[in-house]
Chains A and B, each alone.
Chain A
Amino acid sequence: MSSGGVTGAIRDVASKLRQIDFAKVWRWIRKLPLLPLLLLAPLLVFGILGPLIYPHDPHAVNFPIALQPPALQAGGDWSYPLGTDQMGRDLLTRLMEGARASLLVGLFGVLLSNIMGMVIGLIAGYFGGKADQVTMRLVDTWMAVPGIFFTLLFVAVMREAGIRGLTPIIIAIALTMWPMATRMVRAEVLGLKHRDYVALAKVTGSSNFRILRKHIFPNVLNTLVVLTSVGLGGAIMMESGLSFLGVGVQPPQTAWGTLIAGSITYMYSAWWIPTFAGLAITMTILGANLFGDWLRDALDPRTRQSVLR
């Protein structure tokens, strides 16, 4: 800061803003993939803004209009564009609220799993030897345990212990997903640690921690970013599955999985509830996967030319 104080800070920020080349920013935005972002947009917009933009109260029961069909169908009403559920609650609002749970659980679950995978993968890959052997056998064993079985058990045990809410779900998801991240990071590190710049760093006297931080970590960051995007889809899928089975997000809070589970009884009379909830899950996971694919191409120097330049 040159002049100091609050006015100085504001002036600094203003001059920084003036330096931004908006044409460049626009060119950069143009390169973003349209379809994946469009598919992910509802999740992000409703998940972040949430209660600020709900058209109705998601929990307000209104029996006279229970199971009202979507607006375009006979008997529908534009004030409830996607119809209502068995208790007369607006389906659109409920889907919006479900996005919130999915975003929260998916994002934190995948972040936690990636942080675990990154730390363990870096150590196993870089130091090798016994540390590597032990962790990799652990990963192998862990991958042999069916994910849904473990998560069910874990969430049930947690609930018995009195721990409720979204935290146990997030932890369960992270615990099932970390082996993948660990493997990916480890494989990457195995290649990176034999690069000459690592040798040069050693030759100039850098410590192992310094080499990991300075030379290895920045190079696995790309993989981690891609892993996060693709993993988001997987985590949301898992959350939906758990909610569907009744051990995930608990009523009165809404999740897409619970919406489907609750509507099974009315499936033949009220097709719109499972359909739109299922569509929401499909869109989100497809969007996350496609975005992950795009990220992988965009961050890979070999294919970057065609995607970003």
Chain B
Amino acid sequence: MTKDALLSVEDLKTYFFTNLGTVKAVDGASFSVKSGEALGLAGESGCGKSVTCLSIIGLVPKPAGRIVGGKVVFEGEDLLTKNEKEMRHWRGKEISMILQDPLMSLNPVHTIGDQVAEAFRLDKIKRGVKQRVIDILGSVKIPSAAERISSFPFQFSGGMRQRTVAAIAIARSPKLLIADEPTTSLDVTIQAQFLNLLKEIQQKNNMALILVSHDLSILAGICDRVAIMYAGRIVESGLVKRVYENPGHPYTQALMQAIPKLGQKKSRLFQIEGEPPNMARLPTGCYFHPRCYRVMDICRIEYPPMLEMGADDCVACWLMKQG
């Protein structure tokens, strides 16, 4: 893929070996992020978005989950070849992550200040830690941060806790921040606030961001590019404007039609027929073909290759091949 990428994921395969068979949670996902760029990762529930993120940072739940193939190249080094101890060099300092449920991400027995300070202690910073903690909490807009550092997590609201988690994640100024559905447990107004903050931090620190969400409208507002995932693979990626206005893959097209639009007088929203495939028993050929409205014969036999449509755009669909 592109050479100037900060992170490029190539043909990543993360499987879960369960009693019910092998679940191919991520099955050949490829995408890349340039430094300072915000990439949105979208897809239905269970399509492998979270597992992709966990694979990048090396936290796939063991022993059921295993990365069986592919590469995760960060600044020229393949992270999948690193062991647990070596990975600590990248975690936090180079790549950081905000987890799905921020409300559970803070340890109830330590104060807010103590937990944020942990990040600085890892960098062996001894002096001025308190001031740094106050500064970083201020930068994520915790009001009167100096007084708040001795509070416990339960004294914080959901939005404040999520901002604290963000502060911890960016404390060591990573080059890449992965945010896995950071706003699912927040209400809508707080959601908007937090996303704006995330965008602000990303631009100020010139940090790359991978934002995972099933909400396409969130991604549209924040990301430069989006990648659409289906059944463990990226089916389409491209600049936000292009993907939203002129989606190439039938799946993306269907997703776009399913977004309610302001002023639209339709009683029923568009829905994609059928349901996401069982990840332990994927269909032959293109994984989307049983639900696709423009299915062709070749779709049932062979999975389409990733076709580059331009500098930034890729679509994996046989339709594109035919033009």
Contacts and interface: CB of A to CB of B under 8 A. Distances in A.
Interface of A: 129, 195-197, 199-207, 210, 214-215, 218-219, 301
A133 to B, nearest CB: 12
A205 B109 contact: no
A30 B4 CA distance: 67
12 contacts: A196-B104, A197-B105, A199-B105, A200-B106, A200-B165, A200-B168, A202-B59, A203-B97, A203-B169, A204-B91, A204-B122, A218-B109
B107 A218 contact: yes
B99 A201 contact: no
Nearest to B99: A196
Given A196-B99, A196-B101, A207-B88, A201 B106 contact: no
Given A197-B105, A219-B107, A206 B97 contact: no
Nearest to B57: A203
A129 to B, nearest CB: 8
Contacts of A202: 59, 91
B93 interface: yes
B93 A205 contact: yes
Contacts of A204: 91-92, 96, 118-119, 122, 168-169, 171-172
Contacts of B59: 199, 202-203
Contacts of A195: 104, 107
A206 B102 CA distance: 18
A199 B99 contact: yes
Contacts of B88: 205-207
A200 B110 CA distance: 14
A195 B100 CA distance: 11
Contacts of B169: 200, 203-204
Contacts of A206: 88, 92, 118, 122
A111 B162 CA distance: 39
Nearest to A203: B97
B91 A214 contact: no
Pick the 8 closest A-B CB pairs, nearest first.
A205-B92, A204-B92, A196-B104, A205-B91, A196-B105, A218-B109, A197-B107, A203-B97
Contacts of A197: 104-107, 115
Given A203-B59, A204-B122, A301-B108, 12 more contacts: A196-B104, A197-B104, A199-B59, A199-B99, A200-B106, A202-B91, A203-B57, A203-B91, A203-B169, A204-B92, A204-B169, A219-B109
Interface string B158-186: 00000001001101100000000000000
Interface of B: 57, 59, 63, 88-93, 96-97, 99-102, 104-110, 115, 118-119, 122, 165, 168-169, 171-172
Say what secondary structure dominates the interface of chain A.
helix
Contacts of B92: 203-206
A192 to B, nearest CB: 10
A264 to B, nearest CB: 51
A214 B172 CA distance: 19
Contacts, number: 70
Given A196-B99, A218-B109, A219-B109, A205 B122 contact: yes
A53 B108 CA distance: 45
Contact of A200 (B90, B93, B105, B109): B105
Nearest to B89: A205
Contacts of A207: 88
Contacts of A129: 63
A227 B82 CA distance: 41
Most B Cβ at <10 Å: residue of A202, A204, A215: A204
A218 B172 contact: no
B173 to A, nearest CB: 12
A205 B102 CA distance: 18
Nearest to A215: B107
A257 to B, nearest CB: 40
A3 B190 CA distance: 48
Nearest to B109: A218
A205 B88 CA distance: 5
Given A196-B104, A197-B105, A218-B109, A203 B118 contact: no
A127 B226 CA distance: 38
Contact of A201 (B57, B108, B109, B118): B118
B179 to A, nearest CB: 11
A272 B99 CA distance: 66
A207 B88 CA distance: 7
Contacts of B119: 204
Contacts of B165: 200
B122 A214 contact: no
Contacts of A203: 57, 59, 91-92, 96-97, 99, 169
A98 to B, nearest CB: 39
A197 B108 CA distance: 9
A110 to B, nearest CB: 23
Contacts of B118: 201, 204, 206, 214
A218 B101 CA distance: 21
